[in-house]
């Protein structure tokens, strides 16, 4: 993958252009999603990220259909939920997502978690890719060992791996492994969902003051300069506009190094290698079967 000359997109390993800034709808209630996506599109976002497990694909589809923006100008991502893994179940879930999203194709389809029969699920993504239902495929939350494994033993190498990335967990080694495998890194929890009191971090506040920007804008700009596709989320139009307004400044080498010093190299959420995390996701699967 490579950063495009205009700096506002990256080129994936199959030649598909992906906007480097995106709007995520995780934890936005279904009844608020349509207006949030319409506001994000109005603010200038052309990359929308949802998932089967967010239960708001239909509302995202409604917003895109009613926005008046040509479908080909919007980069749309969704993700297969664990309970839909396995070749046949994933194939059926792809069809259901396309129906809910009111589109003939999705720009990027990811496997949401590295559990269950993700190889069977990935084969279904490969077939959807060959059939033109998906322009790019990939994974989410895959650690370096599992990413290298699936990159080596599949017909179509993942184009993207979406992982927790923010100043307190910077994924430097994981990104190096993705570069080695020619897989684009994409962040979730760009602002760590406010954990670790990140918006009030003294280093980020000091850097933000230097550039006349917010700490949120500094965090987004820091990711952009690392070549990371960056997702942000807000239901407030003014915050949406702020988060995407990062093209009029550039962090110095010294400031990038200061931010790098904040890295704890630990998740603020969970470790997928912890059996307790596996138990947690198993409980989520059981709970969401009833929704």
Q: Which residue ranges are tagged as binding site for substrate? A: 112
How would DSSP label each residue in the chain? -EE-TTSSEEE-TTS-EEESEEEE-TT--HHHHHHHHHHHHHHT--EEE--GGGT-HHHHHHHHHHS-S-GGGSEEEEEE-GGG-SHHHHHHHHHHHHHHHT-S-BSEEEE-SS-SSHHHHHHHHHHHHHTTSBS-EEEES--HHHHHHHHHSSSS--SEEEEE-BTTB--HHHHHHHHHTT-EEEEE-TTGGGGGGGGG-HHHHHHHHHHT--HHHHHHHHHHHTT-EEEE--S-HHHHHHHH--SS----HHHHHHHHTT---S-SS--TTSHHHHHHHHHHHHHHTT-
Say how far apart CA 248 and CA 36 lie, in whole Å.
25
Q: Which residue has the tokens 């479908």?
A: 71
Out of 45, 54, 85, 129, which one is annotated catalytic? 54
Q: Does 87 participate in catalysis according to the annotation?
A: no
- Binding site: which residues? 112
Q: Which residues are catalytic?
A: 54
């Amino acid at each position: 993958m490579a950063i495009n000359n205009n700096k506002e997109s990256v080129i994936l390993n199959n030649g598909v252009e992906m906007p480097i800034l995106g709007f995520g709808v995780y934890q936005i209630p279904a009844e608020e999603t349509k207006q949030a996506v319409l506001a994000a599109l109005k603010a200038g976002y052309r990359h929308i990220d949802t998932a089967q497990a967010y239960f708001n694909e239909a509302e995202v589809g409604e917003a895109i259909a009613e926005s008046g923006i040509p479908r080909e100008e919007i980069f749309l991502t969704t993700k297969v939920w664990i309970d839909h893994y396995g070749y046949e179940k994933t194939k059926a879930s792809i069809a259901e997502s396309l129906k809910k999203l009111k589109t003939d194709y999705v720009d990027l389809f990811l496997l949401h978690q590295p559990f269950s029969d993700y190889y069977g699920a990935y084969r279904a993504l490969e077939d959807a890719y060959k059939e033109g239902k998906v322009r790019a495929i990939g994974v989410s939350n895959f650690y370096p060992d599992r990413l290298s494994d699936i990159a080596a033993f599949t017909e179509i190498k993942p184009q993207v791996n979406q992982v927790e990335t923010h100043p307190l967990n910077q994924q430097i080694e994981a990104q190096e492994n993705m570069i080695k495998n020619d897989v684009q890194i994409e962040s979730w929890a760009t602002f760590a969902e406010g954990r670790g009191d990140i918006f009030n971090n003294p280093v980020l506040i000091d850097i933000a003051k230097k550039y006349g920007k917010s700490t949120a804008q500094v965090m987004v700009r820091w990711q952009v300069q690392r070549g990371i596709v960056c997702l942000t989320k807000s239901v407030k139009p003014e915050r949406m506009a702020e988060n995407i307004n990062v093209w009029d400044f550039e962090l110095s080498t010294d400031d990038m190094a200061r931010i790098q010093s904040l890295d704890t190299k630990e998740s603020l959420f969970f470790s997928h290698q912890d059996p307790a995390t596996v138990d947690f996701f198993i409980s989520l699967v059981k709970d969401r079967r009833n929704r």
